[in-house]
Amino acid sequence: MDSPGRSAARFYNSSDKMYILKTLTSDEVEQMHALLKEYHPYVVSRHGKTLLPQYLAMYRLTVESMETYCVVMRNVFSTFLQIHKKYDLKGSTVDREASVRELEKDLPTLKDNDFVKDGTKIYIGEEAKQQLMETLTADVEFLMRLNLMDYSLLLGIHDIEKAEQEGEMHNESEDDVIEEEDDECTGVPTPPDSPLTAARERAASNGAINPDVEIYAIEGNENAPQREIYFMALIDVLTHYGVKKQAAKAAKTVKYGSNADGISTVEPDQYGRRFLEFMNQAIV
């Protein structure tokens, strides 16, 4: 997969698209070990009700004396529904728009200023918003307590009407159908006992999401201006606010002056409060 951020991390999809593999830096490995001591008890106390990354395993691969660390996580996005728009949201405004190079991609990773400029909102209704903000607040307070910052909310939007139109266009061409079948999962068959198999069967029958598989999915409110399904989770939660980040904040404060309040590199408490305020305005 293309890396959505500025880091040199590499991303890989599993063949059934259920899992993401991400390479880690040595600093992230150290932070992961520190995080896990608090992460597991927190997830248990929340009964799994969290938008934190669902970490499943971490590996060290050694090839010709070169070591590479990688972590396995549940994929935030749908395994069978197409994502039509994608955002990485931090709640900050300085340098928070997709680059020209990023915009050239088929599915660019847009950012906060793009989100505001597009007039995008997450239409899930008041009750679902209250539940989502409760979960986000608990997660952010957990990250603040561990002195972590620079995380993002990864948001993927599935446009139901657009998908239906695209489906009708594909059905009109047998060639498209054959091509799609040949390309599915890069030629690797999905195991019969994979959760993805049940998800696709359900999708084929009624088009609904399977909450056992699409664990980060929230359906749009029936009164929303457009029919959408949202996929949301917190990502990049391994950045500790230490000496390096303090120095980066000082440099950015000098560079941006009066606009420094909008930089992403700030103390965890300020970062968390600003993040929650942005999300509270984005969700309706």
| Per-residue pLDDT tens digits for 249-266 | 445 554 555 455 555 567
Whose CA is closest to 86, among 157, 7, 170, 134? 157
Q: pTM value? A: 0.81
CATH architecture of the domain formed by 11-159+226-282: 2-Layer Sandwich (3.30)
| Per-residue pLDDT tens digits for 85-103 | 999 999 988 889 999 999 9
Name the residues annotated as catalytic.
22, 150
Segments of the chain scoring below 70 in pLDDT: 3-7, 168-208, 242-265
